[in-house]
Structure 1
Amino acid sequence: MAMVSTLNVRIATLEDVAGIVDVHRSGIERWLKREGGRVEEAHYEELSVSERYLHGGPWMSIESCAVHLNNLLLEGQIAVVAEVDGRIVGEAELLISEEPVHGEITKIAHLDVIEVHREFRERGVGRAIVEFLEELALERGCRLFTATPDPSAVGFYKKIGVSEVVYRASIVEFDTSKFPEPPKDPETFEFSWDDVKALEMVAGRFQSSYHYWFVSFRDRIAGVDDVIPFESGMLGESYYVLRGLPSGDGGTLFLWGRREDLPLILGRAREIGFKKVRTVVDETVLGELKPRVLGENIILGRHLQ
């Protein structure tokens, strides 16, 4: 199919929320409602903001998307939209941070979100968005452009030159009953990005390290995120976030600091009621603690300068 000839990519504003939601909603084939222990098909209009959120995050409704986009812009991060004849047909978000890459603090631009309306896929929209974002990343002085592709999209990224494997790890699930409760209570508090930005992200690195600090402390949506079990703080010499899954089936773990503290945090997860914990770990942790492996995660990159 031919490339869209009237395509324009620009920085997004809050005025674009409805169009952004339309793009993300286009990929949902069935809307489901959970009621009385049953899951039934429903019309979009019948769903609450929380129920829409479960289908793919804050981009599923105008209310939550407006909060998310505002949070992003307040942090000085970047959202862009692609337009055809004034219609928004694509959206992407770029998170810029300085964090360890192969042991060296590097300024990176991480492609955190990219979505193209289903009617406009395979028409050059995704490539145009990435090229626009790479230019912005260069202007901001970034040395590396990274992305975490779905397996089906790896070929696309390699085709446009985002092909170096920056990070490879396993998506895993821990049974917390195997870990004893820690000998002392953690310090629980909200930590800053400055506290963790120079530390290795030992567990949970599916996107960039900054992404998980941002979604944990700057992008929480009242009425959705505040009803999900959540704890953050420090145990041993490491900073952690434990967050319940929206489905109620266990939790997720993000950990900055030392590998040696991972069993402590998993014991803490058990103590607060998480029977299962999902996260991302590299092969060293995989060999030591032997969790159940659910899949593989890779972060691809391209050097910009």
Structure 2
Amino acid sequence: MNFILSGSTVSGGITVGYAHLVSTARLEVGHYEVPEEDLENEVARFDEGLRRARDELGALKAHIAPDAPPELEAFLNLHRMILDDSALSRAPRELIRTRRYNAEWALLQQMEKLTERFDEINDQYLRERKADVQQAVERVLKALMGGHALPEPALSQEQRLIVVAHDLSPADMILFKRHHFGGFVTDVGGVTSHTAIVARSLGIPAIVGLHHAYQTISEGELLIVDGVHGVLIVNPDPLVLEEYKSLQSQLGLERKRLKLLKSTPAATLDGTPIELYANIEL
């Protein structure tokens, strides 16, 4: 069955490929009371989970290709800074000691307290930084609960894959560095999310805010990602497929022509040099 989903385009272009579903489901966190005599052991368990999450972020830097956009390392550093903040590294320890929360529940409660503040921010870019806090905390929760990072899919030399997920963090995307993905589509996220910024830096067509893509698309289904209009076409018919392949070729030729102009000095038709300046002062 073919159908169309609409979302927000965050990185232009058109790509055709096969769906690769990636699960990034939120972890279910249990709540229980820690016995008085075990409180310091629970604090130590929290510290160990935090250390493992920091080490994982540090290790991911080694997976960044030399020609990768600098944003990738910057986002990893941001997640480490979030975990180093006292609101997440110290406050949960006090909740464990004073309220006898288990480590996971203490961290979750502190995260929810922090993210509520982001909801009150008017600026969309700053408001969406709530996702960075959630993604950093989920890495610690996975460490505490014995979870593992996203597995890399099997290499595919025959076809370009399109990642379909409920959500993706920049750290998740680094794990797929060996793969030449054709595009990314997610159920949530906005045009200023860090995943969107990474997709733009990599020049990969991407659509966010599709709401139900992960639930309705099956592994291996043929997809068209129209990053120009923010449209995802699932199981396109032959006529639509041929039309989009033609559009994809045209866009590719246009990009090649633009690349030729990249190093060309800016000048008017009569040879007058043009210099472009920008004032980004707030």
- Give the TM-score of the pair, scaled to structure 1: 0.27
Which structure carries more strand by proportion? 1
Q: Which has the higher helix share?
A: 2
The structure whose RCO (Cα within 8 Å, separation 6+) is larger is 2
Q: Of the two, which has the highest radius of gyration?
A: 2
